[in-house]
């Protein structure tokens, strides 16, 4: 999968996108809204990490504490996504730790839809020529394996 200017996509970026695809597949399959929320949020996190990895070595120095802050620094156009997904990080952590009340189905579905849209936007940044068909074959295979387990 080429990157801007025909430079090959770093393997780390491909792995992160494959993991994002696997999390999206798991979110779609999840019957429990809390599980759906967690998997969708993790998919967005992996997608953001892929964008940051594209800028490896060009990440501005500073006190960024999360991938969402780093994402805003390397791709300011994605700041709205950063704010949206960062707002769900505390709930995801609480669900993971078993401390959260039930996640409303509508909230889980909204996050999943946003994570899918964000993954598509990240794919366009990784390979602008590919359009929305950016899912790598490795990502599809990984997603299918993850969903089957």
pLDDT at 33: 92
Provide the number of structural domains found in the chain: 1
pLDDT at 67: 93
Q: What is the pLDDT along the chain (149 residues), one digit of tens a residue?
A: 555 566 788 889 989 999 999 999 999 999 899 999 999 999 999 999 999 998 876 666 666 678 999 999 999 999 999 999 998 888 888 787 777 678 889 999 999 999 999 999 999 888 877 654 444 444 444 444 444 44
- Alpha-carbon distances, residue 3 vs 44, 67, 74, 76, 123 (angstroms): 20, 21, 16, 19, 10
Specify if 86 maps to a domain: yes
Specify if 80 maps to a domain: yes
CA distance 134 to 141: 14
pLDDT at 36: 94
Q: Is 40 helix (H, G, I), strand (E, B) or coil?
A: helix
CATH, residue 80? 1.20.120
Specify if 85 maps to a domain: yes
Domain that holds residue 43: 11-128
pLDDT at 148: 46
Specify if 38 maps to a domain: yes
pLDDT at 149: 45
Specify if 136 maps to a domain: no
Specify if 25 maps to a domain: yes
Specify if 108 maps to a domain: yes
Specify if 73 maps to a domain: yes
């Amino acid at each position: 999968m080429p990157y801007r200017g025909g430079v090959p996509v770093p393997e780390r970026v491909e792995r992160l996108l494959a993991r994002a695809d696997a999390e999206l597949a798991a979110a779609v399959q999840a019957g429990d809204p809390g599980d759906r929320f967690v998997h969708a949020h993790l998919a967005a996190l992996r997608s953001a990490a892929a964008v940051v990895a594209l800028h490896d070595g060009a990440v501005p120095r500073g006190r960024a504490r999360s991938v969402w802050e780093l994402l805003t620094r390397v791709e300011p156009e994605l700041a709205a996504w950063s704010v949206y997904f960062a707002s769900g990080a505390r709930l995801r952590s609480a669900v993971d730790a078993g401390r959260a009340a039930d996640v409303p189905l509508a909230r889980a579905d909204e996050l999943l839809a946003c994570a899918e849209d964000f993954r598509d936007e990240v794919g366009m940044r990784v390979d602008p020529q590919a359009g929305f068909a950016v899912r790598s074959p490795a990502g599809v295979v990984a997603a299918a394996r993850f969903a089957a387990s």
